[in-house]
Amino acid sequence: MKIGFIGLGNMGAPMAANLAKAGHEVRGFDVAGTVAEEVAEAASAREAATGCAALITMLPNGAILRHVADEIIPAMQPGSTLIDCSTVDVESARAVAAQAEDAGLQAVDAPVSGGIGGATAGTLTFMAGGSERAFNTALPLFEIMGRKTVHCGAPGAGQAAKICNNMLLGISMLGTCEAFALAEKLDLDWQKLFDVVSTSSGACWSVNTYCPAPGIGPSSPADNDYKPGFAAELMLKDLRLSQEAAEAVDAATPMGSRATELYQAFIKAGGEGRDFSAVLAALRGAG
């Protein structure tokens, strides 16, 4: 299949490379001039979109997605599929899907979970929104780039799922960091706390898989001086999206709101460029 790929950053480049390694003819473009292994370079987004059966975008925000959509949709051939893997606001996802469908294209919004490691290993989780037909067209590509794909519903449903998931993740990581910080003050050994919590009612991904305490549990950014697997500023972006969505539909998210404030304060105090689990270091007064 001829595939266009726009946005060859830390996530997009390995995703595009995995498609190319699987035998697809992939042509990519990034405004920063970055490239991906085995992926042909396009001179522009429009060139990447021309003649492809599927076009994948991985972009920073909804405003950029809308701008790129204005450029690429007219260049795409009717019947081809636009797959947006960015994490953006639900309104932008729905607007771009409608624009694509009006042009005779299929559209899927499919944000991902799994970070840079998952993008490289091809083990991402895709949360997809769009018609059944569009989803089934995109599914073989998701199966190359990821390990699990869930069709969440109509256009925008993928973004809704991602926003809800990451709001919960942000909240649970803050609670995990607070628990380990408190344990230290109470002279409770971190390993003992992990052994209890990881097999008890407090078990969650933030504890069992991505523990913020160095040397505890499976390897995580905490064991690498909190170099980001998922940067704190990206978590803040997703939390802000959750609060924008909550406000739009009048949903009560008091913990999501507080988590947004806490990550904003953490970044302002020097957390930018660190993993989102580095909140534990800040709570300990260790930076």
Supply the pLDDT for residue 114: 86
Q: What is the mean pLDDT of the chain?
A: 96
Q: What is the reported pTM?
A: 0.91
Say whether 186 sits in a helix, a strand or coil.
Answer: coil
The structure tokens listed for 173 are 């990581």
pLDDT one-digit tens code per residue, 19-29: 999 999 999 99
pLDDT one-digit tens code per residue, 62-79: 999 999 999 999 999 999
Question: At residue 227, what are phi and psi to the nearest 5 degrees?
Answer: -65, 135
Supply the pLDDT for residue 275: 97
Q: Which residues of 2-32 are buried (b: 16+ CB within 10 A; e: fewer)?
A: ebbbbbbbebbbbbbbbbbebebebbbbbee
Contact by Cβ (8 Å): 25, 14: no
Supply the pLDDT for residue 286: 65
CA-to-CA dists, residue 266 to 152, 163, 233, 239, 276, angstroms: 32, 20, 10, 14, 9
CA-to-CA dists, residue 212 to 86, 172, 194, 224, angstroms: 26, 11, 11, 11
Percent of the chain at pLDDT > 70 equals 99
Supply the pLDDT for residue 9: 94
Distance separating alpha carbons of residues 234 and 236, to the nearest angstrom: 5
pLDDT one-digit tens code per residue, 212-227: 999 999 999 999 999 9
The DSSP code sequence of 120-151 is HHT-EEEEEES-HHHHHHHHHHHHHHEEEEEE
Residue 189 above 90 pLDDT?
A: yes
Distance separating alpha carbons of residues 235 and 282, to the nearest angstrom: 16
The kind and range of the H/E element at 25 are strand 25-29
Query: Across residues 49-73, what is the average pLDDT?
Result: 97
pLDDT one-digit tens code per residue, 91-137: 999 999 999 999 999 999 999 998 888 999 999 999 999 999 999 99
Distance separating alpha carbons of residues 287 and 272, to the nearest angstrom: 12
Catalytic residue numbers read 162
Residue of 128, 79, 126 whose CA lies nearest to 100: 79
Contact by Cβ (8 Å): 119, 15: yes
Distance separating alpha carbons of residues 171 and 39, to the nearest angstrom: 38
Supply the pLDDT for residue 117: 86
Residue 250 above 90 pLDDT?
A: yes
